[in-house]
Amino acid sequence: MDLPPLEEAIARICASDRRYPPDAYLFLNEGLLFTLKDVQQREKTYRQITGAELADGLRRYALEQFGPLAKTVLEHWNVRTTRDFGEIVFVLLAAGLLGKTEEDKIDDFDDLYDFDHAFLAPFRPTPRPRNTARPGTPTAPTR
């Protein structure tokens, strides 16, 4: 069975660089397309996106795809920080699978957000206001 060109290229990358599994590269590619489409729809134009825009798009895409398991899935792929997204991007750039400008730097992906806050906080319950009256204690009627 022949692999499609992207999957074949990713398989070659993963054979020599074992930091991230193929699914991490495929997720990044799909998340990139998701982010580009979102930017194009909002701005009605095509342009290259920044590292920060991509990282935010990948956050939104992961939440959409995996919901409360997003952080778990990403950690399973050894993706624990936004810098990991940058590492994957720059491996794909080196392989000629993505385009790059002179301004693009891997540092563009450093410390853009905390994974706990980005992927767990949206699913934490919000505290309800506490009723200070003790159970069984009558409260004053409201008018």
pLDDT digits (tens, 9 = 90+) for 69-89: 999 999 999 999 999 999 999
Domain ranges of the chain: 5-123
CA distance 47 to 51: 13
pLDDT digits (tens, 9 = 90+) for 18-47: 999 999 999 999 999 999 999 988 888 888
Q: Indicate the residue type of 30.
A: E
Contact 17, 91 (CB under 8 A): yes
CA distance 52 to 33: 15
pTM equals 0.83
CA distance 23 to 12: 13
CA distance 82 to 105: 13
